Amino acid sequence: MWIERLDASHALAYRELMLEAYDRHPQAFTSSVRERAAMPLSWWESRLTGKLDVVFGAFEAGRLAGIVGLAFEPREKARHKTTLFGMYVSAEFRQHGLGRQLVQAALAEAQTHPTLKVIQLTVTAGNEPAFNLYQRCGFIQFGLEPLAVRVGEDYFDKIHMWREL
């Protein structure tokens, strides 16, 4: 297993894995599989090459098995913060520490940016494995956003977490 920063050459595999994530865990993401499936490949490439996002992929036997991203703030007064987003490990690769390694890769990247002081994220309330992982990686809950995501007729709250660098 290895982790590397994704680039445009990974766009197809990134799209495939994210669509799997949106489909299998719709309550965990604010985007829907229908919305994102309609996006052209160029949109996925831009997610991997933009100046304000960094996406890492974990590979197992040459296959993209997990992903995580960092979104940097463009606004001057918020440039000390970054947001961890799009964390997903395919079901067949879970329970082997891949999620923790991805979060650690994101933390290591954040620490190379001297102006960053804070990493924040949201996790769906009730997703105990993800919540516990983030806690083990030093994140602290600071708020709860009620009714943050709607899937069909169901609403899900989002827990807001942060970690100082």
pTM of the model: 0.94
- Mean pLDDT score of the chain: 97
**Alpha helix segments (H runs only) across the chain:** 11-24, 33-37, 41-49, 98-111, 128-136
Check residue 126 and give its pLDDT. Answer: 96
- Site of tokens 């956003």: 145
- Enumerate domains of the chain plus CATH numbers: 2-164 (3.40.630.30)
User: What's the pLDDT band for 113 if we cut at 50, 70, 90?
Assistant: very high
Check residue 97 and give its pLDDT. Answer: 92
